Chains A and B, each alone.
Chain A
């Protein structure tokens, strides 16, 4: 700013020697003035104060909790740590968490792409309503998300007869059939359903603003050159959104692995069978023996995966910020 101003002021002088000298003097002058007059930034001591306040806040609310997880996890020694995370129930919880994530993320991935394709590349009535409905799970408490599935599939639920006895029907010539649903509540399908509900908007939300921004020019060019619809999608659209897709998958898996409230309602907390990692942390923490060390050991696995998520996320923003939606370009 000061340079630009001094250059403008100095411009009329015709002697180049004098010009630079003037400019230098003017720059010095304006620097002095900007210190004297209240200008467009804060005094240094205010800056230091504000930075200190912000960092102190982040320290107490973000950094220390994270550090504490690892300190507590290792407080009982490496041996206790290893035995806590290799115990049979912990391993079963890890397996279940990974299984649920591996089912939920692809489901939401396909949904996210379909929703973004419909919403961002086409015009239709009720589009805004559709977008807010997709966002709806963000506004619903995880516990309520679990509850709605209990109301449908639970022991007093509408679908319970289908699960309990099944639906008997006869087809001509083919004989009798029974359609029976698997158990949902207190079992893996319920955990999958609740997690899908909670992570529902994650990938769609990442894709929609980006695809809106990219418009349809490239797809139209591909179509006019004779590509089929699928070819256009695989060769033009998908490469354009791949980093945003990865970003969405990252956030979606982090939430899917860590979901607690919704899963807690539908899981029934059966050790070794319907216990996900976050539920296992809770059980260990509330154990009669106050098994804090083991709880934090298992929690540190989740914290570690959160750290990896953050690092990957920062890397994507830094390296591929241009191909993410506008609000992720730092």
Chain B
């Protein structure tokens, strides 16, 4: 009954509410003005360089190593976040412990804390004489001013994405399925890996994708801890700003285009994998 009236309603009310033209027109105009036209400008500028020109810039050793560093550290940080973020979400949803609400609210700190502040705080914390860095220093591991430091900064900015995507999905997982699995003789490890985790994979992957996308382009929290040595700890966004400072707009544009294309490709691959997993889950 309810379904029937809803579907009839949908047929009839297609354009009943006023303001469609106005709101859509405004949305498209503003979207075009702020996002699409400026981004199109980037593509036009890059197109002016031609394939050969783009290729020459992309294959410069300094550019290549910056791109590799940005994508490599972003992937590593997103993978680490997928693991730890899922653990944090699990602990929040399933267990009770004191201070849970406060820690839960704190998960969003990386969304709220300006990246520059996070950058200098992490640099001090993980620097050679920092509260945590000195312990790593003692066992001979350098964190700040190495790719490891960059990864740490990217873990910080990407953490909430995984937790906030996995948490609601985990809360919705039906406990009955786990009970059924237990009654059928599965031990807890089997139940978790074969019943719970398959239901979580699409969410974990989605969080991974978001954390990765954020990490690839991240600038503010990374440049302080990175040390910015060309070819070693110089990330792609930083190289873009250097090229801009030298008024080498062509080179800056080409690097930006490479970043855009590579991150769209990666996100597309993650989305495809995710929809495959979702279909199998059902």
Contact = CB atoms under 8 A, between A and B. Distances in A.
Interface of A: 1, 37-43, 47, 50-51, 53-55, 57-58, 60-66, 68-69, 72, 110-111, 114-115, 117-119, 121-124, 130, 133-134, 136-144, 147-152, 154-156, 158, 193, 196-197, 200, 216, 219-220, 223, 229, 232-233, 251, 254-255, 257-261, 264-265, 277-279, 281-282, 285, 292, 295-296, 299, 302-303, 306-307, 309-311, 313-314, 326-327, 329-330
18 contacts: A40-B182, A41-B94, A47-B95, A54-B90, A57-B84, A62-B110, A144-B259, A147-B252, A147-B253, A219-B17, A223-B16, A251-B111, A260-B114, A264-B220, A278-B116, A285-B224, A299-B114, A313-B112
A32 B36 CA distance: 64
B234 to A, nearest CB: 13
Contacts of B120: 69, 281, 285, 295-296, 299
B87 interface: yes
A258 B24 contact: no
Given A133-B31, A261-B115, A264-B219, A143 B237 contact: yes
B263 interface: yes
A54 B88 contact: yes
Given A111-B30, A140-B217, A149-B38, 6 more contacts: A130-B27, A134-B31, A148-B38, A229-B17, A260-B219, A292-B124
Contacts of B249: 150-151, 154, 156
Interface string B67-90: 000000000000000001001101
Contact of A63 (B42, B104, B106): B106
B117 A55 contact: no
Nearest to A50: B91
B175 interface: yes
B194 interface: no
Interface in B8-29: 10, 13-20, 22-24, 26-28
Contacts of B35: 133, 136-137, 197, 200
Contacts of A251: 111-112
Nearest to B264: A139
Interface in B143-181: 152, 155-156, 159, 164, 167-168, 175, 178-179
> Lowest 3 A-B CB distances belong to which pairs?
A141-B217, A258-B114, A260-B220
B217 A254 contact: no
B139 interface: no
Contacts of B125: 64-65, 68
A50 B91 CA distance: 7
A61 B118 CA distance: 10
A196 B187 CA distance: 52
Interface in B96-139: 97, 101, 103-118, 120-122, 124-125, 131-132
Contacts of B108: 310, 313
B41 A152 contact: yes
A309 B267 contact: no
B237 A281 contact: no
B45 interface: yes
B103 A229 contact: no
Contacts of B45: 151
